[in-house]
A and B are shown apart, each in its own frame.
Chain A
Amino acid sequence: MSAEFSSADLAESLSRVAAVLAEHRDELCRLDGVVGDGDHGLAMADGFAAGAKAAQAAAGGTLADVANAAAKALLNAVGASSGPLYATALMRAGNAAGPRASMPLDETRQLIVAMCEGIVARGKAAEGERTMVDAWAPAARAAVEGAAFAEIRAAASKGAEATKQMIATKGRTSRLGERALGHIDPGAASAAVVIDALTQHWESLP
């Protein structure tokens, strides 16, 4: 019998993500400065801060309400690339969770899968193109297989690390070609941070 994961828990998960992204803000900006325009940490930290705040305000509603409130707030707080990608991810997570007050904790793996699908649908990137999908897709595969939370975040982290050896074809980094080799993709790095924070929180729940 699995523990239950409530809409308040989901709001708390997003608050944890926001807090960890705030800690990583400058580091993500520096990573982005190597290959892009240096704002990725700001967009992620500000976006999830706004998303988490809206999620907390909606925590009395259903899981879908919380995810959709977070998506809308995140999108309108930042725009950028992260806004539409993570807003779509959160809306898909809301669809997967559905209009219920809680879900079995084991099923939160489906949220990782849904978020990955949303990011792929909005950004139209595939694995191996040096984007956040390179962290999300391995994590989603592990989630589909029912892997432990620790394995899911390890898959994301390994996927992010692998972007160092990839040549981008999507996003601004694609203008760099081989010059980006050796540097981790900032979108993949922040994706690994998001997945790490989510799964750490889920693991800590009773």
Chain B
Amino acid sequence: MSEHLTPKLINAGADAVDEMLEGVMAAHGDKLYRPEGSPRAVVARHGPRAGKVALVIGGGSGHEPTFLGFVGKGLADAAAIGNVFASPPPQPAIDAAIAASGGAGVLFMYGNYAGDVMNFDMASEMLGLEGVEARTVLTTDDIASAPHSEREKRRGVAGNVFIFKCAGAAADRMLPLAEVERIARHANARTFTLGVALSPCSLPQTRRANFEIKPGEMEIGMGIHGEPGMRRETLRPADAIVDEIMDAILFEMEPKPGDRVAVLVNSLGSTPLMELYILHRRVAQRIAEAGLELHSSLVGPYCTSMEMAGASITLMHLDGELQPLLEHPCDCAMFQVAGK
């Protein structure tokens, strides 16, 4: 067995997350800050305000721009940052929530993973003791991770950006906690993602590939931490891969002709824009063939798995409620939507 170590532009592997955060603060200090004494909580300078529900997101590092890149006015108010691929402990989530709280309650949103659920639930319990009401909406957009009948068991992946976006816009419009929570669940229920991985990623601390995949193979449905997906097979042309993914997504989404969808073609890390646009070309064809309207597209790295090669495709099934929330302006360090 080879002991090939992935080359990375890092210093000590154990310092990777903290040094990244120092860099993010140096670059985006006009939009973000970290509360005193809480280096793993990232808070928006211009979002949180009195009477507004605080949207607090979070999870493991290694998925940038998820999660910290989506903190900013109009989207998330704060994020709790974990080690690479590991849930943050409760304390940064508590610190993030308290810093962002406007007295109207806190909504925690994050991908559905066992570790995140335990840590954020502990944070919610501790906030409750301090008189801060915290509720939780888990994202479950990855259709590879459990059957449709067990949607609540699915994990949250790249569709997070659409789901967080709608919830953040609802909070920015000063809707009450119960309403922001309802909209977040609604957005999650209408968002579907499926990905394909071509090469592994490695943790900065070990630099060893965290799964093996032969050149010329692909794994459909692989998770954003390298969790095995639905199956392994020979790499096929982009159009064939998109067709399989779109078949699965449209089967679950059950859109009616004329419905609008928002699309995200996401790089898992090292797959370049050229390939993403080749994928998007076929996605757009399939949307047109299904009689749907392509409302808007995001193409690029939105939810990565360090240097993993591969891509995921997300569709959000828009309706009269979600579309204006998706169009609502936001100003985050790594994601902006301009006002009209």
Least Cβ distance of A68 to chain B in Å?
A: 15
Q: How many residues of B contact A (CB 8 A)?
A: 33
Least Cβ distance of B137 to chain A in Å?
A: 20
B146 touches A37 (CB 8 A): no
Stretch at the interface among B160-168, B184-192, B202-210, B292-300: B202-210
Query: Is A179 part of the binding interface, using a Cβ–Cβ cutoff of 8 Å?
Result: yes
B118 touches A85 (CB 8 A): yes
A37 touches B87 (CB 8 A): no
Scoring A26, A34, A80, A171 by chain B CB atoms within 10 A of each residue's CB, the highest score goes to: A80
Neighbour of B205 across the interface among A42, A76, A79, A179, CB < 8 A: A42
Query: Is A205 part of the binding interface, using a Cβ–Cβ cutoff of 8 Å?
Result: no
Query: Is A159 part of the binding interface, using a Cβ–Cβ cutoff of 8 Å?
Result: no
Query: Is B88 part of the binding interface, using a Cβ–Cβ cutoff of 8 Å?
Result: yes
8 A Cβ contacts from A60-98 to B: 75-85
Query: Is B159 part of the binding interface, using a Cβ–Cβ cutoff of 8 Å?
Result: no
Least Cβ distance of B274 to chain A in Å?
A: 28
Using an 8 Å CB-CB cutoff, how does the interface string of B155-175 with A read, 1 for contact, 0 for none?
100000000000000000000
Neighbour of A79 across the interface among B82, B145, B146, B153, CB < 8 A: B82
A79 touches B86 (CB 8 A): yes
**A158: which B residues are within 8 A, CB to CB?**
none
Query: Is B91 part of the binding interface, using a Cβ–Cβ cutoff of 8 Å?
Result: yes
Neighbour of A33 across the interface among B145, B153, B210, CB < 8 A: B210
Scoring A29, A76, A79 by chain B CB atoms within 10 A of each residue's CB, the highest score goes to: A79
**A81: which B residues are within 8 A, CB to CB?**
87, 114-115, 118
B87 touches A79 (CB 8 A): yes
8 A Cβ contacts from B220-253 to A: 223, 225-228
A38 touches B88 (CB 8 A): no
Least Cβ distance of B6 to chain A in Å?
A: 12
8 A Cβ contacts from B85-103 to A: 85-91
Nearest-CB residue, chain B, relative to A82: B115
Nearest-CB residue, chain A, relative to B231: A179
Query: Is A57 part of the binding interface, using a Cβ–Cβ cutoff of 8 Å?
Result: no
Least Cβ distance of A120 to chain B in Å?
A: 13
Scoring A38, A46, A174 by chain B CB atoms within 10 A of each residue's CB, the highest score goes to: A38
A36 touches B225 (CB 8 A): yes
B146 touches A175 (CB 8 A): yes
Query: Is A100 part of the binding interface, using a Cβ–Cβ cutoff of 8 Å?
Result: no
**B153: which A residues are within 8 A, CB to CB?**
174
A84–B89 Cα gap in the complex (Å)?
8
Known: A37-B226, A76-B89. A84 touches B115 (CB 8 A): yes
Query: Is B54 part of the binding interface, using a Cβ–Cβ cutoff of 8 Å?
Result: no
**A37: which B residues are within 8 A, CB to CB?**
85, 210, 223, 225-227
Known: A33-B226, A175-B146, A175-B223. A39 touches B88 (CB 8 A): no
**B88: which A residues are within 8 A, CB to CB?**
79
Nearest-CB residue, chain B, relative to A170: B114
A38–B88 Cα gap in the complex (Å)?
17
Neighbour of B227 across the interface among A76, A82, A170, A176, CB < 8 A: A176
Query: Is A123 part of the binding interface, using a Cβ–Cβ cutoff of 8 Å?
Result: yes
Least Cβ distance of A52 to chain B in Å?
A: 17
Known: A37-B210, A81-B118, A123-B118. A179 touches B86 (CB 8 A): no
B226 touches A38 (CB 8 A): yes
B118 touches A122 (CB 8 A): yes
Q: Please, could you name 15 A-B residue pairs with CB atoms under 8 Å apart, sorted by A?
A: A33-B208, A33-B210, A37-B225, A38-B226, A42-B83, A75-B90, A77-B89, A80-B119, A81-B115, A83-B89, A84-B119, A175-B155, A175-B223, A175-B228, A179-B228
Supplied contacts A81-B87, A81-B114, A82-B115, 8 more A-B pairs, CB within 8 Å: A29-B210, A33-B209, A36-B226, A39-B225, A81-B115, A122-B118, A123-B118, A179-B228
Chain B interface residues (CB < 8 Å from chain A)? 60, 82-91, 113-115, 118-119, 122, 145-146, 153, 155, 203, 205-206, 208-211, 223, 225-228
Chain A interface residues (CB < 8 Å from chain B)? 26, 29-30, 33-39, 42-43, 46, 75-85, 122-123, 170-172, 174-176, 179
